Structure formats: C-alpha cells, structure tokens
Amino acid sequence: MSVVEARDVFKRFGEVEALRGVSLRAGEGEIVGILGPNASGKTTLLKLFMGFIRPDGGEIRVLGRDPFSDPSVRSEVGYVPEEVLLYDSLTVREFLYFLGRMRRMNPNRYVERARVLTTVFEMEDKLECLIGSLSRGDRQRLALVAALLHEPRLLILDEPLMGLDPVAARVLKEILMDMRGRGRTIILSTHILELAEALCDRIYLLHEGRVIAEGPVGSVKEVLGGDKSLEEVFLALTEKDEVLRNLIRVLEEEL
C-alpha cells in the first residue's frame, strides 16, 4: 500500500517551474529520502504532501486522500519544516499541552509521550522556558518532539538534522529506525548524503524540478558504478562534478 503518492505532479510559482512531472511513492514501513541541490523542488513537494499548496497538474495522495481538499489528513501526519515556526510566547510545557489537546490525545498518553520525548531530546529542563528564548538547536528539538507527540502514521521531515548536536541527531536516527520497524512511513528531505545512505530504503534525486534517479540506494549508486559514494553519484547526475573539479583546481592554484 502506498501511504504517500505523487503522480506526474507539476507546480509553478509565476514563471518558475518548481516541479515538472514528478512521481514518487512511499509505502508502509519505509524511509524514503528526497535529495537534491537548492531550488530542486524538495520543499515544494513536501508542502504538497501536507496540503499547504495545490499542484497545478498531476495528483497527490496521502493516506489515500487529497491533502489539499481534505486537510483532516494532517492529524495523522507529523511534520517538521525547514524553517521552524513555533509559538514564541508559550512555554515548552504550555505548547506541548496545547498540541495534546488540539490533537485530542488521551491525557495519560499525552503526559507519558511528552515525558519520554522531552527526556530523550534533553528538553526536560526547558519545560518552563518561553519558546522565544530557546536556541536554534532547542527549537529544532522541540519541533521534533511536537511532530512525534501523537505517534503519527506518517512523518515528513525537511532537513531534520539542521541545528542538532550529535547526541540529538543519533536519538532521531534511532527513533526513525524504530518507527520504520513498527510500520510507520518516513519521508525526509536532506542535504546530508550520509544520512540518506544510512537510513533510507529508497531515494529520489531531484534536479531542476525533475526526478533524475530513484530506487534503493545501492541501485542508484550502480547507475554510475557501484564503487562510487552516494555523494559522487549525486554530483555526477546533477552535472556538478566538473564544476567541483574546476573549483578545487582554482583552490590548488591560488592557495
């Protein structure tokens, strides 16, 4: 069963074609990575999955529904955007309580989930702090706690390791692998190729609004030779390898 599916999706912003015929699917118990350089369409695709915007062509299905016309699907999704926006005038405790009530969680379950998640992300000593006073790393951890609080069937993460220290990053990786083992679906957009190689069952490489390679990490690497790293494959497929060689040559000559 496809938990998330994009079928021949197009999206324009003025004269800019952000997505051009993108198709993608993610099934139960899968971690699917979306990789690509800046302005490749990754964030736009995730916003379509959340139903924040509507495609100009093609079809989006999340848990069997159109997320734009049926926004109730978001109650079963956890989402962390690249730019985290939180309620700065609330304390961490107030914010999590608000989320628990909004999602109609069982009070006992909410208390236990909030306790566990704030402990593993080392936020227990921040509960009475105003969100507006938190560091960037703390805000990212809180966004992850909020996304995981209601035990979502689908987790959508846009650059989830941004601002995290090594301990929090490892905790997140363990949580993602546990969720996969319990049949949950995770879609993550990342620039960190090592993260995709370590965690993802399948990856999609986006470039200029198109999918230029897809499949299991091993299969994608074999496109240009199995001995290459995912980074080398990425650079070659996006035609950035020659640019990189020229830049390195300039550095060597000038420095």
- 3-state SS assignment for residue 167: helix
Q: CB under 8 Å to 134, separation ≥6 — which residues?
A: 92, 126, 142
Q: Regarding beta strands 185-189 and 154-158, do their DSSP bridges make them parallel or antiparallel, or are they unpaired?
A: parallel
Around Cβ 239, how many Cβ atoms within 10 Å? 10
Around Cβ 77, how many Cβ atoms within 10 Å? 23
Q: Where are the domains of the chain?
A: 2-215, 217-255
Quote the pLDDT of residue 220: 75
**Residues 115, 96: Cα–Cα separation, whole Å:** 10
- 3-state SS assignment for residue 33: strand
pLDDT band at 246 (very low <50, low <70, confident <90, very high): low
- As its CATH architecture, domain 2-215 has 3-Layer(aba) Sandwich (3.40)
Rg (CA), the chain: 19
pLDDT digits 0-9 by tens, 51-85: 999 999 999 999 999 999 999 999 999 999 988 88
Distances in Å between the alpha carbon of 244 and those of 227, 231, 238? 19, 12, 11
User: Residue 37: which of 251, 243, 221 has the closest Cα?
Assistant: 243
Residue 241 has pLDDT above 90, yes or no: no
Residue 237 has pLDDT above 90, yes or no: no
Outline where the chain has alpha helix (H): 42-50, 92-102, 107-120, 136-148, 166-181, 193-199, 217-222, 230-237, 241-254
Residue 201 has pLDDT above 90, yes or no: yes
Token couple for 125? 């000593």
**Residues 209, 48: Cα–Cα separation, whole Å:** 14
Percent of the chain scoring above 90 in pLDDT: 69
Quote the pLDDT of residue 125: 95
pTM across the whole model? 0.88
